[in-house]
Copies of this chain bind each other. A is one copy, B any other.
């Protein structure tokens, strides 16, 4: 039986989803039907959400599960009248925190994911633009300004990782591909060697690389398994020879790769001002 799940937030709903999904993954034999209702910041909107929840409850014959990050107590109270099981993230932790900090919370809506610090925000947008402009070895002349340069074979995950690090952590991340023509007698190019402290390698299982490249250019030399094997072997040997830290991206999400890189490179998690 599928259980209906609601994520209800007075802002974007991103935090409610992250928390709720973290909990639900612990029940992986069950099936969930998930709905996010963001920007629920007035009584009228809460009442409409309650109606939606009650309709689902009636339809399912079992009450839905509600993950809620609504800040204002009077709205939360109203939501509790829904025919569902409410897991109330703010209410649960804010009381103990008030005691510990000996301070009343401000109960103000929209502190998370609202634009708070315009400088931090600009810093983040700058990082995204830097990563875009220095994607895929487009240019090497900005490497002096980079926080990190990700290197690896084509299609091993460098671009999404660079963008995620920029977007989430405000880091300026360039990336540089090693291509087929580099593989004979593979060396670290001079422009990379100059910034060796900023280099981080990504690698991937050749079989997975073969699948990804086949999606892109089926039956090409580029996508062939022997070519993928040869490139991965050559690049991993380079990483080892040059003592460049690296990570196998194959079974990891972008979030996981990114945070592992932060740890390995000892890079701070900059506030992004959101």
Taking Cβ atoms with an 8 Å cutoff, the residues of A that contact B are 3, 11-15, 17-19, 21-23, 25-30, 36, 38-39, 65, 69, 71, 85, 87, 89-90, 92-94, 96-97, 100-101, 103, 105-108, 111-116, 121-122, 124-125, 128-129, 132, 135, 157, 159-160, 163-164, 167-168, 212, 215, 251-256, 258-260, 262-263, 269, 273-274
Contact = CB atoms under 8 A, between A and B. Distances in A.
The 9 residue pairs across chains A and B that have the minimum distance between CB atoms = A25-B111, A26-B105, A12-B259, A253-B274, A113-B255, A22-B112, A15-B18, A115-B253, A15-B22
B167 A94 contact: no
A167 B157 CA distance: 13
A172 to B, nearest CB: 14
Contacts of A26: 71, 90, 94, 97, 105-108, 111
Contacts of A29: 103, 106
A253 B121 contact: yes
Given A21-B112, A90-B23, A101 B30 contact: yes
A22 B89 contact: yes
A93 B263 contact: no
A15 B255 CA distance: 11
A97 B159 contact: no
A40 to B, nearest CB: 11
Contacts of A30: 101, 103
Contact of A159 (B11, B39, B132, B159): B132
B274 A255 contact: yes
A17 B76 CA distance: 23
A137 B1 CA distance: 46
Contacts of A121: 253
Given A22-B90, A26-B90, A38-B260, 10 more contacts: A14-B18, A19-B89, A21-B112, A23-B90, A26-B97, A26-B107, A36-B269, A85-B96, A85-B100, A125-B160
